[in-house]
Structure 1
Amino acid sequence: MAKKVVPETDRRRRRPTKQGVVLTEKLIVETALRMLHQHGREGLTVRRLGMALGADPSTLYRYFRGTDDLTLAIADELIGRAMRGWRATGDWRTDLRELGLRIHTAYLNHPEAAVLTANRVSGRANEITSDEMILGILRSTGLPDPDVVRIYQAFIDQTLAFAALDAASLALPEAARAADEEVWRATYARLPRETHPNISATAPLLIERMNDSAYPTALEMLLDSAAATLKAA
């Protein structure tokens, strides 16, 4: 049976931990993010998190029903960081581009957390707020709602998919990541034109582009498609 989560107001009245801090959901999430960065996904356990906070691990169940509930909170925190300070300009394309780049960047700032959470739907406050904003931007264009939802789904799924893909590369050990990046120069660039004419012809361009994220390009392509839909409508 799931453990009862104590209301936030009750949690704040608890005594400080051994480190002299009062536990809050935000503090736990921020500590979990730091541990993911330092130790990877395998290093984030309730026991280790309790030790890092100077609290008994069982105390964490006053704030989260389990590690999966904590994972959803981490996902929502990343979205919240992406949205922090954002202001709409009133131009739908400019606003969507900025939001997409912000979300992608927020996830890449925490690659281990991104790989862990990019495919999750938390239903928490920051996620709901961002979805409301994105849908509002698209509906402000006058597009019918079926087109709005179609573009919204492509926009958010593409953003999170690239965040997970790019974060997975960043989460690799440095030597492995460097080896992957070198393949374009060490292998692809040396393939003979006789057997691989297309790779050979484009090798310099492949070397130039393939170690960078394709997300900005993919985002512009999606926005172009949305603009074409708007023009047709």
Structure 2
Amino acid sequence: MTQPRRRPGPKRALSESDVLDAALTLMDSGGPDAASIRRIAGELGVSPNAVYTYFPDKAAIEQALVERLLGELNRAAPAGGDWRADLEALAVDLRRRLTAHPGAVPLLLGGAMNGPQALHLGERLLDVLTRAGLPAERAARASYLVMVYVLGAIALEVADVPQAGALAPEADRIAARRAAMTRVPPEAYPRTAAAAEVMSTWVGTEQYLWGLRRVLDGLTPGPD
């Protein structure tokens, strides 16, 4: 007896957000190189042409991911108050979001941050630094300095873990660095060995804030 043919089910609806979710999942597990158009399509169970419907190339996907991550940061922004507290909160939140997706960190370092959300973040920085009493030119220079410190610190923190994927909890990463530092021969590197305990905490929040606060200390109004 001939079985009746089944009607095909509805095609899966796809959106820009689905493509970005898949790209971020691949980056989280394998780093930025893992999120090729073909692999993104495979993750979604569609053909590469379906991905091209939303993005012309991988670079456009990466730019959109940067915008998404920065948009989430901007939407979570606290109301204006003490400028230092606001800037520290912003820097800590950015670190938290980027270390949750270490594969996306190179995207912020390797491309122009000129989308609407990146510009909005820059405007927020200028606003905070203006509230600190800096004139316009100095605020502009200071905003660049702050971003260099913040993104550089995050990039080094992520690079400290050689394999791709999510970072281990901060306490575990510090413990691993501490164990590694015990293997430094003190007779060859006496100063490094003496500073081993502090150096083991370089990937921690305490060091991140220590450096940020030193940067901010140098930004108070005064002669250049």
TM-score range, shorter chain: 0.7 to 0.9
TM-score if structure 1 supplies the norm length? 0.76
SS in 1 for 2:110: coil
Task: For residues 120-139 of structure 1, give each alpha carbon's deviation from its aligned partner in whole angstroms, at most 9, with x where no partner exists.
Answer: 22322221211111111112
- What is the aligned partner in structure 2 of residue 84 from structure 1? 75
1 or 2, which has the higher helix percentage? 1
- The code of the aligned residue for 2:24 comes to L
CA distance in 2, matches of 1:65, 1:122: 19
Q: Deviations over 1:36-62 (max 9, x none)?
A: 112333322111111222322122222
Confirm or deny that 1:154 pairs with 2:145: yes
Corresponding residue of 1:42: 33
Report the CA distance between 1:150 and its aligned residue.
1.1
Aligned position for 1:103: 94
Pair 17,107 (structure 1): closer, same or farther in 2 beyond 3 Å: farther
1:212 matched to 2:177? The reply is no
Length, aligned pairs only: 207
Q: What residue is the counterpart of 2:214 in the other structure?
A: 221
In the alignment, does 2:186 pair up with 1:191? yes
Letter in 1 for 2:40: L
The aligned residue for residue 13 of structure 1 is none
* Runs of at least 5 residues in structure 2 that lack an aligned partner in the other structure: 1-8, 168-172
Offset of residue 224 of structure 1: 1.0
1:155-191 C-alpha deviation (Å, 9 max, x unpaired): 11211111221122245269xx88765331122xx41
TM-score (norm 2): 0.79
Secondary structure of residue in 2 paired with 1:186: coil
- What is residue 125 of structure 2 aligned with on the other side? 134
- Deviation digits for residues 69-126 of structure 1, max 9, x if unmatched? 1111112222123233222232111111111111121111101111343332232222
Answering whether residue 57 of structure 2 is matched by residue 57 of structure 1, we say no
Q: Which amino acid in structure 1 is aligned with residue 219 of structure 2?
A: A
Distance 1:171 1:36, change over 3 A: farther
The 5 A counterparts of 1:116-131 are: 116-131=107-122
Kept in 2, the 8 Å contact 1:119–1:160? The answer is no
Inter-CA distance 164–203: structure 2 relative to 1 (3 Å threshold): closer
Higher relative contact order (CA 8 A, sep 6+): 2
Q: CA RMSD in A?
A: 2.7
What CA distance in whole angstroms lies between the structure 1 residues aligned with 2:53 and 2:44? Answer: 14
Distance 1:202 1:65, change over 3 A: same
Find the aligned partners of 1:122 and 1:211 in 2 and give their Cα distance. Answer: 25
**Aligned residues: percent identity?**
25
- The 1:78/1:167 distance shift into structure 2, 3 A limit, reads farther
Q: Could you tell me how far apart the structure 2 residues matched to 1:116 and 1:171 are?
A: 17
Match of 2:106 among 102, 115, 118: 115
2:3 matched to which residue of 1?
none
Deviation at 1:211, TM superposition (A): 5.0
Maintained 8 Å contact 1:107/1:167: no
